[in-house]
Amino acid sequence: MKEETISLGELFSILKRSKWLIVSLAIIAALIAFFVSSYVIQPTYEASTQVLVAPKDNQNNMIDSSQIQSSVTLVNTYRVIIQSPAILDQVQENVVGAPESVSGLISVDSEQNSQVINIKVQHTNPVLATDIANEISDVFSKEVPDLMSVDNVKVLSNASVPVLPVSPNILLNTAIATVLGLMIGVAISFLKVVLDRRIKTEQDVENILELPVLGSIPVIDKVEMRQQRQANMKGEQVHV
């Protein structure tokens, strides 16, 4: 059996014949993603606050580069302390409505060589996320002198109640679903052609059976056949 190949023209022909299937699947996928993202998935809000690791003034009220570098080095240690039970247990007790595990809601990061620590809290309740974020920064700034024997942390900015959710991203989810719907539609269109082993044309006979075509019977349209039959009957009546 000869190896089957599909030309570029045949590819476009397959896509053209299946355009309504492809478009329908894309629209259905987009509508499902939009509905799920809008009405099924509960939106998540993010509140963020910042704390500054400030170098300690020396006796001359001057801050040198070594003090700044020391503060930058302490940032990584402070990030660990913020997420430790010593801080989060107090936050959980102080914030009304806080979940049993606060650690799963927060993320702590900082820019490279920066003295600023970003504390982010995500929750389905925007007010609760804000309260937790602000309480973390407050408790941390108060506990640092006892834990590290140095008072060099200041709350740089308090969290405000977020208005817009950070997830789900309805537009992005809908766009991804639309692309997936198109891909599935295209895949189904090609599978229908590849898995269809019926012989439809003279070329199929040559490719599948490897036999020469000696003749073919043309396809006669039923409407044309009926019209031709009626014309013949009228002709016979005229001759009679």
Indicate which CATH number applies to the domain containing 85. 3.30.70.1130
Residue 57 shares a structural domain with residue 152: yes
Range(s) of the domain holding residue 226: 199-240
More confident residue, 234 or 33: 33
Whether 165 has a pLDDT exceeding 90, the answer reads yes
pTM for the complete prediction? 0.70
Question: With contact defined as beta carbons under 8 Å apart, do 188 and 17 qualify?
Answer: no
Total domains in the chain come to 3
Q: Are residues 98 and 73 in the same domain?
A: yes
Name, of 13-22, 142-151, 177-186, the range with top average pLDDT. Answer: 177-186
Look at residue 62 and tell me whether its pLDDT is greater than 60. no
Looking at residue 137, what is its pLDDT? 94
- Residues 60, 117, single domain; the answer is yes
pLDDT for the residue numbered 1: 43
Q: Is residue 86 part of a domain?
A: yes
Is 162 within the bounds of a domain? no
Domain boundary among 132, 157, 182: 157
**pLDDT for residue 204:** 63
pLDDT at residue 65, rounded to an integer:
59
pLDDT band at residue 181 using 50, 70 and 90 as cut-offs: very high
Cis peptide before 212 (omega within 30 of 0): no
pLDDT of residue 90: 93
Over 90: is that where the pLDDT of 160 sits? Answer: yes
Which phi and psi angles does 231 have, rounded to 5°?
-65, -40
pLDDT (tens digit, 9 = 90+) per residue, 145-157?
Answer: 888 888 888 999 9
- Structure confidence at residue 193 (pLDDT): 78
Q: Give the pLDDT confidence of 88-103 residue by residue, as tens digits.
A: 999 999 998 888 889 9
In a domain, 26, yes or no: yes
Per-residue pLDDT, 186: 92
Q: Is the pLDDT of residue 11 over 90?
A: no
Query: Same domain for 73 and 104?
Result: yes
| Inter-residue contact 51 to 140 (CB < 8 Å) | yes
Q: What is the pLDDT of residues 189-221, one digit of tens each?
A: 888 877 766 666 666 666 666 667 666 666 666
- Band (pLDDT 50/70/90 cuts) for residue 68 is low
Residues 189 and 203 in one domain: no
Burial class (CB in 10 A: 0-12, 13-18, 19+), 20: exposed
Query: In this model, does residue 25 exceed pLDDT 50?
Result: yes
Among candidates 75, 144, 79, 140, which has minimal Cα distance to 113?
A: 75
Q: Say yes or no: 54 and 143 in one domain.
A: yes
- Which residue from 36, 71, 76 is spatially nearest to 57, judged by alpha carbons? 71
